[in-house]
Amino acid sequence: TTVEKQGFRHFMLKEIYEQPSVVRSCLETYLDASWSKEKAEEKSPINLGLAGELCDNVDYIQIVACGTSWNASMVGKYLLEQLAGIPTMVQYASEFRYSPAPMLRNTLTIGVTQSGETADTLAALEMEKQRRMALESPYNAQILGITNRPESTLAHMVDRIINTQAGIEIGVAATKSFIAQLMGFYCLAIDLAYRRQHLSADKLESLVKGLRELPNQIELILSQQEKQIEELAHEFIDTQDFIFLGRGINFPIALEGALKLKEISYIHAEGYPAGEMKHGPIALLDAKVPVVAIAMPGDVHDKVLSNAQEAKARDARLIGVTPTDDNEARATFNDLLFVPHVDELLSPIISVIPLQLLAYHIAARRGLDVDQPRNLAKSVTVE
Ligand code: G6P
């Protein structure tokens, strides 16, 4: 009913709009408000309540997840590797169950599931627990869950959870729970980086400052870009294929943008690392296939622009997600979805917002059942 949707046409749109407050509440819960860089000697800026035995001697991290949670885990991998320096593998739970990697020592296993009930994820974690149970340190099982449901089966099965606290999500296509999982990974990666003394006090301070700015920046995108994105969506009434390109930490956001569009609009969409486009997807390109390129400032910005220009040379319509309003960006992109300028490592939280809105408005414009897309379930409790 309209009451529950608080005036929004669909739950998905309402949940997209809840994201600034989801980020805020995560920061309130897990960031130590009294921390400053002068205190960096005494304490971590993050308080996740993780016991030392779970995370002090971690040499490797392996993550199992499905769907959107898998995409969030891929962002997590970049953070855990780049901020904390811990080699991290991300596996589809359904694959890990039947072909797990050989066991490595001192491994933290993380199960990421919004619902805490996805059968494949639970079974993969159970298998890992069993496989390691008989073994002693350094091969014993250390399992952390990241979930939005502290009462779920997952929560009972693991040593510890990070409760993502996004509130109940009704739209089948995950939005606010994805953002909340990303926040969980930021907190975890910063905390592990602190424990391992992998970041300077200055870097910690600038990350914390950047995190605190995110809620207002998301609000800005919602208030300034939604109308434009809604209008843009009208242009894709007959589109059958979409390509999403990103590099580095925004590669998983290209995957997530494509997944959102597939799930609710039934348009075929692929997310690709921009540098791989020339090894296949470029053959698909013509004037009928729009390309969305995530071009956030940082190490790979210029590379993404040149990959986008290759797509343009094949007549593709190019949509850029970028804060860059210069001549090169204007000459490259047919449409610009502006977002605030942030640290590259924090940029997934920002770059995913216009992609959620784009998927939403294309599906809504097509008159589809956005909150209950065909053939999908909110949580898949069968193998
Ligand atoms: C289903 C949902 C997806 C979700 C996936 C994993 O396929 O439709 O939106 O990402 O399950 O769910 P989980 O609860 O484990 O995160």
117: three-class secondary structure by DSSP: coil
> Which of 64, 68, 169 has most ligand 1 atoms within 8 Å of its beta carbon, as the pocket-test mutant?
68
Would residue 378 show up in a list of annotated catalytic residues for this protein? Answer: yes
- Torsions phi, psi for 22 (to 5 deg): -65, -45
Q: Which of 124, 165, 121 is nearest to 23 (CA)?
A: 165
Distance of alpha carbon 60 from alpha carbon 81, whole angstroms: 10
| pLDDT beneath 50, residues of the chain | 1
Does the CB atom of residue 122 touch ligand 1 within 6 A?
Answer: no
List for the chain the helix, strand, coil content (%; round to 5).
50, 15, 35
Q: Ligand 1 center to residue 367 CA distance, Å?
A: 23
- Torsions phi, psi for 347 (to 5 deg): -65, -25
pLDDT recorded at residue 329: 86
pLDDT recorded at residue 128: 97
pLDDT recorded at residue 327: 87
Residue nearest to atom 5 of ligand 1 (CA): 67
Distance of CA 45 to the CA centre of its chain: 22
Distance of alpha carbon 345 from alpha carbon 209, whole angstroms: 13
pLDDT recorded at residue 373: 95
pLDDT recorded at residue 1: 47
Does the CB atom of residue 123 touch ligand 1 within 6 A?
Answer: no
Q: Ligand 1 center to residue 102 CA distance, Å?
A: 27
Does the CB atom of residue 376 touch ligand 1 within 6 A?
Answer: yes
pLDDT recorded at residue 2: 52
